[in-house]
A and B are shown apart, each in its own frame.
Chain A
Amino acid sequence: MSIGHTLLGLLESGPRHGYDLKRAFDEHFGQDRPLHYGQVYSTMSRLLKNGLVEVDGVEAGAGPERKRYAITDAGITDVAQWLARPEKPEPYLQSTLYTKVVLALMTDRDAAELLDTQRAEHLRLMRGLTERKRTGDLADQLICDHALFHLEADLRWLELTAARLDKLAEAVGG
């Protein structure tokens, strides 16, 4: 999963401090693996360097200064491109796809369109494997079958998620 894009997506709804970003990330996507503070700050400094976020304000306090980050126009474009680009089908893709779907809903983008584009990408790969099976020997068939069953599992998840988009939108407040 791309932590940079996820943090950018979270910033689209408004500027946040690094701490708020971590909390939002953990709440929506960090069930299995909460983000370390270090990851947040290293990611934000990279995004800052690349012009995808800017510092919106600095609060001085007892501890270190607290920067508040805002997404730039270039950042918004970057998130839009990431969401629109289908993922290369691979095992354990679900966490990335789940993140994309949730962020699309949170940012009022078309999550159904995202799922349709991903389905088309999966099917494109499945067609290639099916053709390889048709012309290949038994070993080819078995190897392709293994990949096909994994891709099919992803697709079943996509269909189920598509059917539950309204509920998911309610749950994430999109």
Chain B
Amino acid sequence: MTPEGSLLAAEGLRKAYGPTPALDGADFSIHPGEVVAVMGPSGSGKSTLLHCLAGIIRPDSGTVRYGTHALTELTDAQRSALRRTDFGFVFQFGQLVPELTCLENVALPLRLNGTKRKDAERQARDWLAQLEVDGVDGQRPGEISGGQGQRVAVARALATRPRVIFADEPTGALDSLNGERVLTLLTNAARDTNAAVVLVTHEARVAAYSDREIVVRDGRVKDMAGRI
């Protein structure tokens, strides 16, 4: 079980790539409905932490707990299934399937979870409207702007109503206005659905959308909550 009240928690995570430690005893926890910014300089271990928390990579040692699951003890297939049903992902770019329309992209995770096409597309349409890109249904990712594409990506991440959303520099490729709108829509939607958001960023303006921040430096995590 995770520590009391937390949804996702990690303890003593270590991960090395060759001789270089990327994580060196990192701890972390997040509650439902909470937005936590993960900050730190390039190469500090932010993305490695996110990948371990999401079960994308397995740490060399330490534990990740999600609800009643010990993520670090699940098989690859079990972790993949959990990622499909309970986790949502938004990255900086390159996450939409270029051959599919925007509507099909958003409906895709629902279809993979067994939702019937008609129902999946209806839900996808609602999410696109909520992200203020309802006009791009029939277009492919290559035919829309970067800002629109990122909103479609957020819609897709939210479509399965995940309990945890992992966002790695989600606005890194956008201008200020588009970036702010995407962050507002993402954090509003997450709070409405009581989802937790792990928001990796090196930008203070992005971190300002969080409830609290942690700082990763040299593979160690410093929780800044309650320091002021």
CA–CA, A156 and B227, complex, Å: 20
Instruction: Given A129-B208, A151-B204, check contact A124 B228 (CB 8 Å).
Output: yes
| From A120, A126, A163, contact of B208 by CB (8 A) | A126
Q: Give Cα A119–Cα B228 distance, bound, in whole angstroms.
A: 10
- Cross-chain contact B205 with A126 (CB below 8 angstroms): yes
Whether B41 is near chain A, meaning CB under 8 Å from some CB there, is yes
Which residues of B have CB within 8 Å of A112? 217
CB B99 to nearest CB in A, in angstroms, measures 37
Is A123 a contact of B204 with CB atoms below 8 Å?
Answer: yes
Main secondary structure of the interface of A (DSSP, over half): helix
Q: Which residues of B contact A123 (CB under 8 A)?
A: 204, 207-208, 213, 224
Is B215 a contact of A163 with CB atoms below 8 Å? no
Q: Tell me whether B41 and A163 are in contact (CB under 8 A).
A: yes
Check A120–B227 contact: CB distance below 8 A: yes
B204 touches A155 (CB 8 A): yes
What residues on B are CB-neighbors of A56 within 8 Å? none
Give the total number of A-B pairs whose CB atoms are below 8 A apart: 47
> Do A120 and B204 contact each other (CB < 8 Å), given the known contacts A130-B209, A134-B184?
no
**A124 to B, closest residue via Cβ:** B228
Q: Which residues, 77 to 121 on A, are CB-close (under 8 Å) to B?
A: 86, 112, 116-117, 119-121
Q: Hey, which chain A residues are within 8 Å of B41, CB to CB? A: 159, 162-163
Name the distance in Å between A38's Cβ and chain B's nearest Cβ: 37
| Distance in angstroms between the alpha carbons of A152 and B213 in the assembled complex | 15
CB-CB < 8 A to A120: which residues of B?
Answer: 213, 224, 227-228
User: Which has the most chain A C-beta neighbours within 10 Å: B203, B208, B222?
Assistant: B208
The residues of B with any CB-CB pair to A shorter than 8 Å are 39, 41, 184, 202-205, 207-210, 213, 215, 217, 222, 224, 227-228
Q: Which chain A residues have a beta carbon within 8 Å of chain B's beta carbons? A: 86, 112, 116-117, 119-124, 126-127, 129-130, 134, 148, 151-152, 155-156, 159, 162-163
Besides A126-B208, A163-B41, 19 new A-B residue pairs in contact (Cβ under 8 A), listed by A number: A116-B215, A116-B222, A116-B224, A117-B227, A119-B204, A119-B215, A120-B224, A123-B207, A123-B208, A124-B228, A126-B204, A126-B205, A127-B210, A129-B208, A130-B205, A130-B209, A134-B184, A148-B205, A152-B203
